[in-house]
Structure 1
Amino acid sequence: MRCMRSTTIGLIFAVAAIYSVVILFVGDERVSFHSVLRHFPQAPRSVEPPVWVSVEREADADLRVDGTRVELRAPLVFNHSDDEPITVHLVLHSHVDPGWLETFDQYYEHKVHNILNLAVAQLTEHEDLRFIWSEVSFLERWWTLASEEQKKQAKRLVAEGRLEVCGGSWVMTDEATPYFWASIDNLIEGQRFLTETFNVTPRTSWSVDPFGHGSMIPYLLPLAGIDNMVIGRINNELKKDIRQKSLLTLNWQQSWTNGASKDSPKAAFVNVLPNKYYTTSDACGPDLHVCCQFDIGPTARSMCHKRADDVSPQNVAAYAEQLAEQYRKLSKFYRTSSVLVPIGDDFFFSVVEDWTVVYKNYKQLLDYINSNPKYKMNVRFSNVGEFFASVDQKTRSTAPLLSGDFFPYLDDSAGPYPAWTGYYAHLPYHKRMGRIVEEKLRSLDLLRLASGSRNDGLKPALVESRRNLALFQHHDGITGTSRKHVMQDFLQRLYWAFDNVTAAQQQLFGGDSQEKFEAVDFLNDDQGRLLTHRLFQSAEKKESRIVLFNPLTIQSTRRVVVRVNSPKVRVLSGQGKPIQAQILPQILNGTISSEFFDLLFFMPIEPLSRVEVSLSFEETQPPLTSVSRVHSSSSQKSPFERLETGGSFIANNSLLKATFFDGKITQLSLGDQEVGLSFELNKYADRGGAYVFVAGERVALPTLRSFFYVDGPLCRRVFGVSDSVNISHAFSVFSSGDSLVDGSLDLEVLSNVRITVNENYMFSLGTRAIGSNGTFYTDANGLHMMKRRFNSKESVAMNFYPAPSAAFLEDRRLRLSLLTNQPTAVASLASGFFEFMVDRQLSGDDGKGLSFGEADTSLPSRLNYRILLEPRKNVSYGTQSFFHSALGFHSLQDMLYPVTAMVRSSDAPLASWPSLFQGLLPCDVELVTFRFLTENTALALLRRLPFDAHSAAPLPSDCSGALDAFWNLLRARLPGGTLFVSNLTGTQKGESVASGRQFAALFDDAFLIRAIRIELP
């Protein structure tokens, strides 16, 4: 419960300062369509521009939620009658965070194993009792340690529905900051365990503690077979409003629609808890002083002068009268004759007396109420499934339609810490590290597909890695809202996952040949802490062979950067052909290194394929390896030839031009469209904590202590170091001849704010050329884009929204996009401008559970972004945007999913892998994931994307790939496999997919994620 919370971490400098560079440097791959024709001339050229599948229109809805505002299409009047019988479902639960004030292991030892032991024992003893559970991570730990008798009893209780597992995710995820790939994997991991252990698939969801609810979960859950949800934390002022209108029962649909398609996403049926929390004292009705009395048991935490833990024949009538009155009043907040009432709290039911006191006293109360006709009530111990089963179909079908989401979360508008927007970007190092492990796992899954490996020996390491990543998705993990030692535990689990996945990748690269491959090396700073992570090759080795794997499903030109200790290095393709390269300076803390350099080159790689390159260190400078020229504002000595400039610098290629003066960007153009561009660092005084942003004075930090211009044939870069805080940034423009490489401006930010306190650092990015007028868009966890509006009546903090991977603002002529490789927070406080959080360092206690000093350790971070400027065409007034352009999406994919690089130990020819793709997968079809569920079962998730047709940016030059061809190749790659449509997690299969035409027909609808289960002999 977040009336008591705690955060940050210990002192490891590691892999997110780190691996952003394995994203940015060990292979910042660039998706390229034009390069397909250049490097792969056999690819057919499209004669006509591609026609994208479209989202028909914005979905109709009775309620639209936009931040703190709710818009009603009609009055939505609903009349209640006190004569109407109601059924009250008492749902016993325990909210068990798998990491918050204690670590996962500590909580399990101290509380959770007792809760589950007692739940099984008490439900076995009392046939009328029910209990719900949501954190599969804890259930799996309990199961591995339970006795055979306990397992037998638990299986029986689950089969009978008396012990109900809701949601089935490994953890109750945060909903603001994850990328949807990790959320799907979280679901798969939990539901696979439930299917294999209990032979059940959840039908309901219980998600009552995330700090605001987004549109991702009500989209994914119906695809997994769950269309009944209980949620808790929505903006408290908004909740009061809709509660008075009896609107706490809703059908939650997406903000877009595919029209009359039978496969349009199903709206989730949602029951919203009535007050702030999921506790007994907060949920029995509107009078919390009365409800508090019925929060009984020795571990009850509410502050109450009197408790109903002494129910007897003498006082049962008085207690029952109070409780029944609350239940009746509660029912008027809903449009059903059934009411759900939680009984529980954080780690409640951890001692036997909690169970006995609750059962003894509530049993008397419900017996009395049920036997007294005047109440017209049936009160019973129940669970979430039984509650939803009692809601008739007419009520479901007539419940109001909601679209939008419930961000930002506000719990007390009158309090000192109202806006829960700080956690969107808190502890960026941890958030970056989580994204790195996601990328590594996805790449490993696709490596298994590409190599044809069904090596079950990888399973233990993979399972552990997936579960550690899933644990981090918890709403106190990725959010950065746990105590320091708990955040350190989350981080250590991510490191373990990273190491395990890397070791598995080494095995897969070797395949049956038993050849050894080396992973990337780690470089330490002078304090011995892990600071950055790059592919490093030493001149002492003379020659190295590097193998690159492309995890994307389109032919791509990849950016590869290798750290070297000599600039005299030649790059050759696997066929021995020289490759053009450039030596870049390594700049750290405003100083050019004379010992290490970055070697940049580009490589075309087919989808899901490997290529080999070799590095040869020479005595003289190779003619195709250009050494950059460098201008330093501080005139420091360096091994690079000095670039003469008068303070201005143009970083350009055939498509993009960025103009700089004194190290600061002033203009950006794509093609003929040129605009003035502003990019400045700002600092807010922040009186909040890990959860809450409380904006004080805003101070611009425009001065650069030093800047560098770097010039060369493949890369032009501008590196700026802030004068007042240890934050630096680098803009890069690349020249590969590929529109999807050259059409975006790269931005890397290095942040180290540990010596500051109570400050929130942000960059402002924008142009006066775009008249966005307070409207902007942020992504819904990567699934689609959500329209946002600046609200001048709200505080600065309440105008920030989560941006897990993207944001853009636009008018009819231009779109400016910010793509981000780690979750952040974005606002548009002025027309044409973004403000996005970079880092924050806080000492305060925002009253949500973490004490003073728990949010004051943000580790040095290396953060990656892309900036796109796109001309628009044929835009009508009122046009709604739902997604990226083709350029925007594939630039994002390129940043999220870099090449995997390994160093070979052998000089023998590289063993070939059969190509999975003889042609392209259509460029508007995304392979979300492919993973083995078991040695003989695989799951593929794909979706068709509605690219913005109004973009005038460069288009893919070939989108001729065919889904039926992909189906044929998939069958050939997995011989003997039978394909079935399945639910999202692969736990339930539907009709078989018997032909390529049938397979292709599944992808007619925009955004719809299709799951294909492949069963192998």
Structure 2
Amino acid sequence: MWSAVVLVLCLAFGYGSANPACNPGKEGMLNVHLVCHTHDDVGWLKTVDQYFYGANNSIQQAGVQYILDSVVQSLKEDSSRKFIYVESAFFFRWWDEQTDEVKADVKSLVEKGQLEFIGGGWSMNDEAAAHYNAIIDQMTVGLRKLNDTFGEIARPTVAWQIDPFGHAREQASLFAQMGFNGLFFGRLDHDDKDTRIANKTMEMVWQASQDLGKAAWLFTGVLPNGYGPPPGFCFDVLCQDQPFMDDPRLHDYNVDQKVTDFVKAAEAQSAQYASNHIIMTMGEDFNYQSANRWYKNLDKLIRYVNARQENGSKVNVFYSTPSCYLESLHNSNLTWPTKSDDFFPYASGNHSYWTGYFTSRPALKRHVRSTNAFLQAVKQVSALLGLGVDPRVEHLKEVMGVLQHHDAVSGTAKQHVTDDYTLRLDQGVTQSFAAITEAYSKLHSDTSEDQATVFCPLLNVSSCAVSETSSSFLVTVYNPLAKPRDHIVRVPVPAGVAYKVTDYKGDAVTVQLVPLPESLLAMPGRSSNAKFDLAFVASAIPPLGFLQFHVQRSSSRRILAQQMSTVYVPKASQEIMVKGGNVAVEMDPDTSLLSGVGVITENGIKMNKVNQTFLWYAGVIGNNSAEEWRSSGAYIFRPNATAPFPITQKPTVKVVEGPVVNELHQTWRDWVSQVVILYPGQPLLTLQWLVGPIPISDGVGKEVVSRVIWSNVTTDKTFYTDSNGRETLKRVLDYRPTWQLRNHEPVAGNYYPVTARLLLDDGKDFKAAVLNDRAQGGTSLGDGHMELMVHRRLLHDDAFGVGESLNETAYGQGLVARGKHYIVHSDFATSECDFGCLHRTVGEDVLLPPIISFTPTTTTRHSWRESHTAKWSGTKASVPWNVHLLTLEPLGETTILVRLEHQYQANESSFSVPATVSLQDLLADWEIVSAQETTLAANLLKDDDQRYEWKVEGTENEQGGETERRENRIKPSLSSFSVTLNPMEIKTFILEEVWLLEPS
């Protein structure tokens, strides 16, 4: 056990948690920290289950259960040995199968510092396609479970992102806010790495936020060999390197040569790093299934290398961990370089830009994002209505944690693994439907079967059995935002039927029957009677609450005629302008493409010239034998030309108009179509695209993009993308801020991950943003250009491991993807909501759309209001408009986790000012009696967060900042429970000893 006295003294001096289990190395020596580890993908070539049990070994020889069995036994045999483990999803599956005796052994190994948890999230998440909301959740699941199982001594203090394909600045910021001292990773651009090696800047302090200062600083190190051992020193059963053969009588005796080779490797690595401590990763994918082979050889390596010190060698080698290595670097008291941008895009060679996976498997990416929205809602309802910790919801949290893995949401797993991921999502969501149904039932006086709540997961293709077949049904619209909102509800219904919709006050609601696009009706696999969407406005949906509507069929032909949309096909060369609220669009009569987006004012329409269309790049077909023959594939985007091909010269157009929504239906080909949507009262333009099945009969793989061009705008090669959905980063065409780019792929080398928004700003009076409903790759290849890749279907593998082409199919054809882009423009801004407000508010709406459910009913609309709660809110007061309720979930029967975030950056908007929230007002039916602020992952009290301070180049290096970091913290003795948030700040609280009041 660690010495409590040493721990207290170190904390008092601000050095973090000094660990007596660490070998400090020797003065005047090159100290080599051997880090024994395994990298266990939570699905990739095999499914999660197959990897754990070691099944399907014809694909890959890998069994995680054997790794943990073997490592624990080897650690018990020698107290000097160490091992680190990362993926909590696998560890706890193994842990749950162990005997009490084995669990006691593991706890002892953890206490002695032999077994150390690093990273600690449920998975090692992707950093391009993963949204910050889901990243925080999956880290919280893993870290809290480690804390609950082993206590504070097992809390990871080092992040370990060794395999993701590029690294996001926001990810580093989140790690810092979780209390991590450092981050190590393995992949960065090959030219960037060469530059850092030459300059000895492989380790740095990442200043990972424009707004949060030192709270987002994180020491970051690039590992020397990816995450494997130096050549010649892999001793796993999966490796071919020679073991130590140390019997002098053997003809193959090799100790002298092995030691010499290792010393040379250590000295060569030392020349690339700044201190006299270096880290060597001793492990690879699914290594240590027979841990004894590794440890037996590493024991010899340590003994024989260190024996040379008697002859003057300056190399000292020992077992270590990343946290021990980081402590040695911190104690060295060096001054470190800094970095303030990110590590995207990642290129492993001149023609291998890992920018294709930003878009790969768009349907899975959307499935993950929509499931995240549902998960937030079900956690909220469980907390607000007192369900406590529900195993069904806990299961969904773990499933979502798996899906954040860097071979899951990234779209880089084999097809059968992707199918397994999809099944896990479906099962998790289906189980959690019952939790919301149970919660809703608490609000209704009628407990009959009439209360059965039905969710329709196929609303994205306008399919729902309840609304299509029921003569009368209820629609419940839950708002997961902690502020009121309006929403256009769209309910799939059959043709030839009118409807009467009644709101909670008993008033009739204006409705419109909107014909579904022909391309949607013809979509492969769609089995639905719906030919229309019944559209109506749900106004002022309460925060963290719902509105319920009664919908009843009507046989009235007069009502049907009134509700039908006006539909027409424009004549040749006819000018088309469609208006909706204060926004108008016009189409070019010659091309049938969007040609203008404008705002309607008292003085007329201020129109901005813009063009939007779909194009496709042809993926390079190569044999992958050399860089110049690299194929475009699941990871790599490599078009065979800089200019994409048009889908067709002129799409067909249909106009749909009515009191609720106006639309333009565009069809380029039978595999590319789009609906341009204008909703009255919404200052944005919605583009609902449908792409697929992408044709491949010509033998050419295709990568489809939506391109928006603002014709009269000069943007000087500059554009902006978000980082994991939060802060934005400046991008400049063919440029990297910290190293000289030699771009051999002018398109792919300028693609970046767009998790939530792509923005343009001419620095004068023009600003525009395109927001997306899932992660995609995007760029700006010219003045005023905004390009997002929406779908890709390829016929060749790119030879980076997945072993199959990205050729997704469904129902015997190529996969169809459907999604939305949202365009906002600075001209849409008002005095109440400027452009920064617009794109942040729209982004919040896109992230957490209302959750819609249906209830077949025989109750008349007159008696419905007496037996049902048709309007409800779980909060006393809305949060300010610049605040987002990020998390509300139960941790126990009387314990709730709350995260509040300021969703604006400094100087981004008039809303970029401090905001104050009352925690007491968040919950209508609960009284908070105490609150504790924690770090971001809710596994450490904020007052116990003692992160390392680092000296950095170019600044004064005071050992201060702790007072600043502790400002505005809730103290349990305070009675106000008032929280103040500054721009981009997230604050996390555990609300203890809450109790339920009488329902209000």
The bucket for the TM-score relative to the shorter chain is 0.7 to 0.9
- Give the stretch that moved more between structures: 505-514 or 533-542: 533-542
Residues of 1 paired with 2:302 and 2:884: CA distance?
A: 53
Residues of 2 paired with 1:866 and 1:802: CA distance?
A: 17
Is 2:277 aligned against 1:338? yes
Match of 1:39 in 2: none
Alpha-carbon distance, 1:828 to partner: 0.6
Residues of 2 paired with 1:161 and 1:540: CA distance?
A: 62
Match of 1:963 in 2: 916
Provide closer, same or farther for how the CA distance between residues 345 and 550 of structure 1 changes in structure 2, counting only shifts above 3 A.
same
- What per-residue deviation string (whole Å, max 9, x for no partner) do you get for residues 310-329 of structure 1? 24566433322221222122
Match of 1:400 in 2: 337
8 Å Cα contact 1:423-1:480 kept in structure 2? yes
- Give the stretch that moved more between structures: 844-853 or 162-171: 844-853
Matched to 1:426, the amino acid is: S
Aligned-partner SS, 1:696: coil
Structure 1 unaligned regions, length at least 5: 1-81, 281-290, 524-529, 634-643, 875-882
The count of aligned residue pairs is 872
Match of 1:574 in 2: 504
8 Å Cα contact 1:131-1:162 kept in structure 2? yes
Residues of 2 paired with 1:645 and 1:949: CA distance?
A: 47
Provide closer, same or farther for how the CA distance between residues 254 and 595 of structure 1 changes in structure 2, counting only shifts above 3 A.
closer
- What per-residue deviation string (whole Å, max 9, x for no partner) do you get for residues 891-918 of structure 1? 1221222212222346343237874444
8 Å Cα contact 1:584-1:628 kept in structure 2? yes
Match of 1:382 in 2: 320
Residues of 2 paired with 1:839 and 1:748: CA distance?
A: 14
Q: 2:188 aligns with which of 234, 239, 256?
A: 234
Higher relative contact order, chain-length normalized (CA < 8 Å, sep 6+) = 1
Is 2:455 aligned against 1:520? yes
- Give the stretch that moved more between structures: 610-619 or 89-98: 610-619
8 Å Cα contact 1:155-1:198 kept in structure 2? yes
Q: 1:561 aligns with which of 472, 480, 490?
A: 490
8 Å Cα contact 2:920-2:927 kept in structure 1? no
Aligned-partner SS, 2:559: coil
Q: 2:143 aligns with which of 164, 179, 191?
A: 191
Matched to 2:232, the amino acid is: Q
Aligned-partner SS, 2:129: coil
Match of 2:693 in 1: 753
Provide closer, same or farther for how the CA distance between residues 152 and 161 of structure 1 changes in structure 2, counting only shifts above 3 A.
same
Matched to 2:164, the amino acid is: P
Q: 1:178 aligns with which of 130, 135, 153?
A: 130
Aligned-partner SS, 1:158: helix
8 Å Cα contact 1:752-1:860 kept in structure 2? yes
8 Å Cα contact 1:670-1:870 kept in structure 2? no
Alpha-carbon distance, 1:187 to partner: 0.3
Aligned-partner SS, 1:239: helix
Match of 2:440 in 1: 509
Structure 2 unaligned regions, length at least 5: 1-25, 55-62, 523-527, 621-631, 736-741, 944-969, 995-1000
Identity %: 24
Residues of 1 paired with 2:300 and 2:45: CA distance?
A: 31
Match of 1:300 in 2: 239
Residues of 2 paired with 1:894 and 1:686: CA distance?
A: 35
What do you get for the CA RMSD once the two structures are aligned? Answer: 2.8
- What per-residue deviation string (whole Å, max 9, x for no partner) do you get for residues 728-761 of structure 1? 11110111xx3xxx21001111121353241111
Match of 2:566 in 1: 629
Residues of 2 paired with 1:219 and 1:968: CA distance?
A: 29
Residues of 1 paired with 2:842 and 2:181: CA distance?
A: 34
Residues of 2 paired with 1:495 and 1:610: CA distance?
A: 24
Q: 1:139-158 to 2 correspondence within 5 Å?
A: 139-158=91-110
Q: 1:339-354 to 2 correspondence within 5 Å?
A: 339-354=278-293
Matched to 2:290, the amino acid is: V
Residues of 2 paired with 1:170 and 1:94: CA distance?
A: 15
- Give the stretch that moved more between structures: 976-985 or 681-690: 976-985
Is 2:805 aligned against 1:847? no
- Give the stretch that moved more between structures: 468-477 or 855-864: 855-864
Aligned-partner SS, 2:231: helix
Match of 2:675 in 1: 730
Matched to 2:922, the amino acid is: L
8 Å Cα contact 1:816-1:869 kept in structure 2? yes
Match of 2:472 in 1: 543
Residues of 1 paired with 2:846 and 2:853: CA distance?
A: 19
Residues of 2 paired with 1:960 and 1:984: CA distance?
A: 21
- Give the stretch that moved more between structures: 595-604 or 114-123: 595-604
Matched to 2:228, the amino acid is: T
Is 2:218 aligned against 1:268? yes
- What per-residue deviation string (whole Å, max 9, x for no partner) do you get for residues 258-299 of structure 1? 56xxxx523111121124x2111xxxxxxxxxx322222432
| TM-score (normalised: structure 2) | 0.83
Match of 2:768 in 1: 816
8 Å Cα contact 1:545-1:613 kept in structure 2? yes
Residues of 1 paired with 2:795 and 2:468: CA distance?
A: 46
Match of 1:38 in 2: none
Provide closer, same or farther for how the CA distance between residues 161 and 673 of structure 1 changes in structure 2, counting only shifts above 3 A.
farther
| TM-score (normalised: structure 1) | 0.81
Q: 1:982-997 to 2 correspondence within 5 Å?
A: 982-990=934-942, 992-994=970-972
Q: 1:832-871 to 2 correspondence within 5 Å?
A: 832-853=784-805, 855-857=807-809, 859-871=815-827
Provide closer, same or farther for how the CA distance between residues 851 and 258 of structure 1 changes in structure 2, counting only shifts above 3 A.
closer
Matched to 1:214, the amino acid is: A
8 Å Cα contact 2:548-2:871 kept in structure 1? no
Match of 1:473 in 2: 404
Residues of 1 paired with 2:401 and 2:82: CA distance?
A: 28
Match of 1:46 in 2: none
Residues of 2 paired with 1:472 and 1:419: CA distance?
A: 23
- Give the stretch that moved more between structures: 318-327 or 811-820: 318-327
Provide closer, same or farther for how the CA distance between residues 778 and 146 of structure 1 changes in structure 2, counting only shifts above 3 A.
same
Match of 2:952 in 1: none
Runs (4+) of structure 1 exceeding 6 A deviation are 590-594, 959-962, 995-998
Alpha-carbon distance, 1:517 to partner: 3.0
Residues of 1 paired with 2:573 and 2:618: CA distance?
A: 36
8 Å Cα contact 2:874-2:923 kept in structure 1? no
Aligned-partner SS, 2:656: strand
- What per-residue deviation string (whole Å, max 9, x for no partner) do you get for residues 755-808 of structure 1? 324111111112122211211111101111111111186221111000011111
8 Å Cα contact 1:782-1:806 kept in structure 2? yes
Q: 1:749-788 to 2 correspondence within 5 Å?
A: 749-756=689-696, 757-788=700-731
Provide closer, same or farther for how the CA distance between residues 969 and 538 of structure 1 changes in structure 2, counting only shifts above 3 A.
closer
- What per-residue deviation string (whole Å, max 9, x for no partner) do you get for residues 431-473 of structure 1? 01111110100111222244x32344xx211111111111111
Residues of 2 paired with 1:152 and 1:653: CA distance?
A: 66
Aligned-partner SS, 2:147: helix
Alpha-carbon distance, 1:994 to partner: 4.6
Alpha-carbon distance, 1:520 to partner: 2.9
Matched to 2:821, the amino acid is: Y
Residues of 1 paired with 2:888 and 2:456: CA distance?
A: 28
Matched to 1:938, the amino acid is: I
Is 2:753 aligned against 1:802? yes
